[in-house]
Amino acid sequence: MPNVAKIPKDFLEATQQTLYMTFWTALWSGIFGILLGVILVVTHDGGILENRWFYRILDQLVNIFRSIPFIILVALLATTTRFLAGTTIGSKAALVPLIAGVIPFFARQVENALLEVNPGVVEAAQAMGTSPWGIIFRVYLKEGLPGIVRASALTLISVIGLTAMAGAVGGGGLGNLAISRGYNRFQTDVTLMSTILILILVFITQFIARRIEKRVTH
């Protein structure tokens, strides 16, 4: 890989940018995604804080934002990105559409994970007079933890893929390196190495997620 050997610093910088985007996107999407997922579960029909109209509105908003292709979302949020980040180019700017796109995706995954919790356990907690907050933390989040871990792994892998897509539109990272140096300059080895590094990140994520899932399941 002759071209790869010439730009080790570029690969290091691109990897750091990818990790930067992945970390901050995962952090904020994780916080707001879990919050949104919990709200969806407790307000749906038969939920402990049932509110049909609120649930329907929130459910439709999640569906709408999940349906918007990431590239289109980047364009739609360009003004917001410029306001928040001061620019529409670079890893910092890419965080805005990344977080906006991942939150509804993760929220739906969390909702599905929490809906798998045995309704009998929830009913038993209600019968014992447990408060809604107590049910959320001691029943839903505790019993649904394995499902949330699986959802987190799936979401994190999606985030890594989206950072590569963000790189293609000026977000930096391994995706940007693969396009700007590999594809545009016909340096196939650069594209290949960028792909390999992205796959390594995915495999590491899967490995860690499986270990965590085993710990919280047994």
Mean pLDDT of all residues in 137-166: 91
Which of the 8 DSSP states describes residue 76? H
- Mean predicted confidence (pLDDT) in 152-157: 92
Whether 32 and 104 have beta carbons less than 8 Å apart is answered as: no
Q: How confident is the model at residue 186 (pLDDT cuts 50, 70, 90)?
A: confident
Question: What is the rounded average pLDDT of the residues 125-132?
Answer: 89
Whether 214 shows a pLDDT value over 70: the answer reads yes
Residue with tokens 């749906």: 44
pLDDT surpasses 70 at 218: no
Share of the chain above pLDDT 90, in %: 54
Q: What is the pLDDT of residue 198?
A: 93
Asked whether 171 and 209 are in contact (CB, 8 A), the reply is no
pLDDT average, residue stretch 26-52: 93
Kindly indicate the confidence band of residue 47, based on its pLDDT and cuts at 50, 70 and 90.
Answer: confident
Distance CA 16, CA 13 (A): 5
d(CA 22, CA 14) in angstroms, rounded, equals: 12
pTM for this prediction: 0.90
The H or E element containing residue 96 is helix 91-115
What's the chain's average pLDDT?
89
Tell me what pLDDT residue 64 has: 93
Structure confidence by residue, pLDDT tens digits, 28-37: 999 999 999 9
Question: What is the model's pLDDT at position 85?
Answer: 85
What digits encode the pLDDT tens for the residues 158-184? 999 898 888 767 778 888 888 888 888
- Residues 133 and 125: their CA atoms lie apart, in Å, by 11
pLDDT band, very low/low/confident/very high, at 63 (cuts 50, 70, 90): very high
